[in-house]
Chain A
Amino acid sequence: MNELLSPFDGLLERLATPEAIKAIETGASPAAMWRDLDESGFLDALVDEAHGGSGLALADVEPLIAAAGARAVPLPIAETMVARALIAAAGIAAPRGPIAIAGSAQAGQTVPLGLVAEHVLLDTGTTLVLAARDDLTPAVTGVHRDLAARITWDGAPQGLSVARPDHGLRPIAAVLRATLIAGAAARLTEQTTAYANDRVQFGKPIGKQQALQQQLAVMAEDMIAARIAAQLGCAAGLTVSPLQAAVAKATASALAPRIANTAHAVHGAIGISEEFALQLLTRRLHEWRLADGSEGYWTAVLGGARLADPAPSVDWVRARVFA
């Protein structure tokens, strides 16, 4: 998939610079960045060819979603890709603006990137509703530079109704978050390794200290585990089951804080300064860990299903997660 990834990642590198991200996080309009993203055509990658898209599978665009995570893009790229595919499959023309997704119909919930979205695709439990963001009384969370929105409505959320996937939106949303985590983890591992080779204390790079080498090795392991778990979720496509999503998200969510912690520990004080770009990724890791269910939520889902079946563990995992 490198032929897709390198032009897409080049586009993100040009658009989502740390300065541009900061500007949007502090209130600048994302319209120009969005226009360039939309015109690139990548946002229709999951839309079937009959509806003007590229008809790719989720596994095909997994590297693109990970790249969006790695570059901390302040716009809902992955969410819009999935929303457009679901809307097109329902035979409806999707709006061209950014679409955030919400895996439940709980009023008051926090939706990542809700402040920069024009629409939110909500799962009411029986149908999906494409609601205009402004009809959802979006409120800021009050967290520093956060682009998430708290959304509420009176009665039922209003908007276009879109067919609901068998298992609803939450498993898909969880797999997207896992993939974003994996992308950010990959970039953080590279940045942290490079920093360790660069920063000199006691007359040599800190990366020559065995204590840090061992921590960084574990960070790389965590990064790979998050990557492969997220890819396992993406391999299941848009019909991903809650159990497959559970493996992807429980794994990535549990690892996100470990990865963020090591990145900060190795960077020392400069890592927590606002000006240094590290925080763009580590703040998001914590947001994505919680979004659409933390490891606590998904391990309970997985364990409940596991305990309902007498099969031995490896057989069960093969049949229910790898099928």
Chain B
Amino acid sequence: MFDTFAFATLPEDHGGLRQAVREIIARHVATLPLERRARSWQGFDSAFSRALGAAGLLGLTLPTAYGGGGLGPFERFIVVEELLSAGAPVAAHWIADRQSAPLILNFGTEAQRQAYIPRICRGELVFCIGMSEPGSGSDLASVRTRAERTAGGRWRVNGQKIWTTNAMHSDCMIALVRTSGTAADRNAGLSQLIIDLKAPGVTVRPIVDLTGDAHFAEVFFDNVELGEDALIGSEGEGWSQVVAELAFERSGPERIYSSVVLLDAWVAHLQALGRRDADALVGRLTAELATLRAMSIACTARLALGESPVVEASIVKDRGTTFEQDLPLAIADDLAAHPDELVSADLYRALMYVTHIAPSFSLRGGTREILRGIIARGMGLR
């Protein structure tokens, strides 16, 4: 079962990519406080993303003709691994680099590619994903936001999106909307539009989360008028495009490294104290990390062969987020099992931040139950 999902070796980093990322990290990230780095891919810093773009480290898998790196998924793995393991603030380019640009490359017109991809590769254009709505979470095919054709083939959009990461910082949203039929038609009649968030009629309202951060937002569309060229891909094909987009969203190493900055801080704490009663716990977490890394590389190897490894990516994401969620709990228990030991304020804050945000790890990008349903389908159970 799933026989091709097997150990693969990450090719040599001939282009010196790791070193290039490390130099930028040394300048922009190394001085950030622990709790900022613990925010990992939720940290937003346009200057940092532009610096990566200027160094040719964004859009690595995109064609050079559009300003990309012309490289493959393995090279992207290397760069992403370096960024996440350092806790770099990647949010300003994350979504565009990971899924919007590949989507535009695959389904967009030549004019759309020219208009968006080079600027994404420079780290200048911020994208967000407009899938979820108040009534449509896991059941994405039930979206109600509507786009209608107006005179001259233009579009008029009405409706609402929610939980849209970085909408308040974004230039554009790629939204899944209904262009014909009703919610009862399910995945027929859906399309994807590129919505200019500066257009009249768009209202973005940030939502504060339980840690006090506001990384996502509600977005309202009130008779928003868009040009003909807002449609991306084919009208009515939104569902299959979204499925392809989610395969990009789910398969990267970000699903295993969200709390690795905390792991490092705890290891440093144990080392500073010379405490050795946590060897087995450190070993367990390290073995899990190593196995997940091998699984993530194995999934990347399928991407590199041009496949769309939907089941493999779901397996890596479900397991990776389970690990990321377990980590703060295990570390908290270890620290508080030593009530007379001094824990720095930095470590404590980072620990509690990750503890509180961790439930989101298995919600964003598709819940645990939905991913396991995809795996079960791959096993021939549904």
Residues of chain A whose beta carbon lies under 8 Å from any beta carbon of chain B = 186, 189-190, 193, 196-197, 207-208, 210, 212-214, 216-218, 220-221, 223-225, 227-229, 231-232, 235, 246-247, 250-251, 254, 295-296, 298-304, 306-307, 310, 312-317, 321-322
CA distance A210 to B2 in the complex (A): 21
Residues of B328-382 at the interface with A, using a CB-CB cut-off of 8 Å, are 369, 371-373, 375-376, 378-382
Hey, which chain A residues are within 8 Å of B6, CB to CB? 227-228, 231
Q: Is the CB of A300 within 8 A of B263?
A: no
Hey, which chain A residues are within 8 Å of B264, CB to CB? 312-313
* Whole-angstrom distance between the Cβ of B322 and the nearest chain A Cβ: 9
Closest to B274 in A: A307
- From B280, B298, B315, contact of A300 by CB (8 A): B280
In this assembly, does B107 line the interface, its C-beta being within 8 Å of a C-beta of chain A? Answer: no
In this assembly, does B156 line the interface, its C-beta being within 8 Å of a C-beta of chain A? Answer: no
In this assembly, does B85 line the interface, its C-beta being within 8 Å of a C-beta of chain A? Answer: yes
Hey, which chain A residues are within 8 Å of B375, CB to CB? 217, 220-221
In this assembly, does B204 line the interface, its C-beta being within 8 Å of a C-beta of chain A? Answer: no
* Whole-angstrom distance between the Cβ of B139 and the nearest chain A Cβ: 15
In this assembly, does B208 line the interface, its C-beta being within 8 Å of a C-beta of chain A? Answer: no
Q: Is the CB of A304 within 8 A of B263?
A: no
CA distance A307 to B271 in the complex (A): 6
Interface CB pairs A-B, < 8 A, 16? A193-B1, A193-B380, A220-B2, A220-B315, A224-B5, A228-B6, A228-B7, A247-B291, A251-B287, A251-B291, A303-B284, A306-B286, A313-B267, A313-B289, A322-B290, A322-B293
Hey, which chain B residues are within 8 Å of A232, CB to CB? 7, 290-291, 294
In this assembly, does B32 line the interface, its C-beta being within 8 Å of a C-beta of chain A? Answer: no
In this assembly, does B288 line the interface, its C-beta being within 8 Å of a C-beta of chain A? Answer: yes
B1-13 interface code vs A (CB 8 A; 1 in, 0 out):
1100111011000
In this assembly, does B27 line the interface, its C-beta being within 8 Å of a C-beta of chain A? Answer: no
Q: Is the CB of A313 within 8 A of B279?
A: no
Residues of chain B whose beta carbon lies under 8 Å from any beta carbon of chain A = 1-2, 5-7, 9-10, 81, 85, 257, 260, 263-264, 267-268, 270-271, 276, 278-284, 286-291, 293-295, 298, 315, 318-319, 369, 371-373, 375-376, 378-382
* Whole-angstrom distance between the Cβ of A82 and the nearest chain B Cβ: 19
* Whole-angstrom distance between the Cβ of A51 and the nearest chain B Cβ: 28
Given contacts A214-B376, A228-B298, A307-B278, 17 further A-B contacts (CB under 8 A): A193-B380, A197-B380, A213-B382, A217-B375, A221-B318, A223-B1, A224-B315, A225-B295, A227-B5, A250-B283, A296-B280, A299-B282, A301-B283, A302-B282, A314-B289, A316-B286, A322-B294
CA distance A102 to B188 in the complex (A): 62
Hey, which chain A residues are within 8 Å of B287, CB to CB? 229, 246-247, 250-251, 254, 295, 298-299, 302
* Whole-angstrom distance between the Cβ of B45 and the nearest chain A Cβ: 20
Q: Is the CB of B291 within 8 A of A313?
A: no
* Chain B contact residues: helix, strand, loop or mixed: helix
Q: Is the CB of A193 within 8 A of B260?
A: no
With known contacts A213-B373, A303-B284, A312-B85, A317–B293 Cβ distance under 8 A: yes
Most B C-beta atoms less than 10 A away, residue of A193, A220, A295: A220
* Whole-angstrom distance between the Cβ of A211 and the nearest chain B Cβ: 11
Q: Is the CB of B381 within 8 A of A207?
A: yes
Nearest 5 pairs of A and B residues by beta carbon: A303-B283, A299-B283, A231-B7, A303-B282, A302-B283
Q: What total of A-B pairs shows CB separation below 8 Å?
A: 161
CA distance A205 to B14 in the complex (A): 52
CA distance A186 to B282 in the complex (A): 28
Q: Is the CB of B319 within 8 A of A225?
A: yes
CA distance A228 to B295 in the complex (A): 7
Hey, which chain B residues are within 8 Å of A306, CB to CB? 267, 282-283, 286
CA distance A277 to B376 in the complex (A): 24
Q: Is the CB of B294 within 8 A of A217?
A: no
Closest to B372 in A: A217
Q: Is the CB of B81 within 8 A of A314?
A: yes
With known contacts A295-B284, A300-B279, A304-B279, A196–B295 Cβ distance under 8 A: no
Most B C-beta atoms less than 10 A away, residue of A228, A296, A301, A306: A228
Closest to A187 in B: B1
CA distance A251 to B289 in the complex (A): 10
Q: Is the CB of A315 within 8 A of B85?
A: yes
Hey, which chain A residues are within 8 Å of B376, CB to CB? 213-214, 216-217
Q: Is the CB of A193 within 8 A of B381?
A: yes
Q: Is the CB of B380 within 8 A of A302?
A: no
Q: Is the CB of B276 within 8 A of A190?
A: no
Hey, which chain B residues are within 8 Å of A221, CB to CB? 315, 318-319, 375
* Whole-angstrom distance between the Cβ of A33 and the nearest chain B Cβ: 27
Closest to B272 in A: A310
Hey, which chain A residues are within 8 Å of B260, CB to CB? 313-314
* Whole-angstrom distance between the Cβ of A225 and the nearest chain B Cβ: 5
Q: Is the CB of B271 within 8 A of A310?
A: yes
Q: Is the CB of B257 within 8 A of A224?
A: no
With known contacts A228-B298, A313-B85, A303–B369 Cβ distance under 8 A: no
Q: Is the CB of A300 within 8 A of B1?
A: no
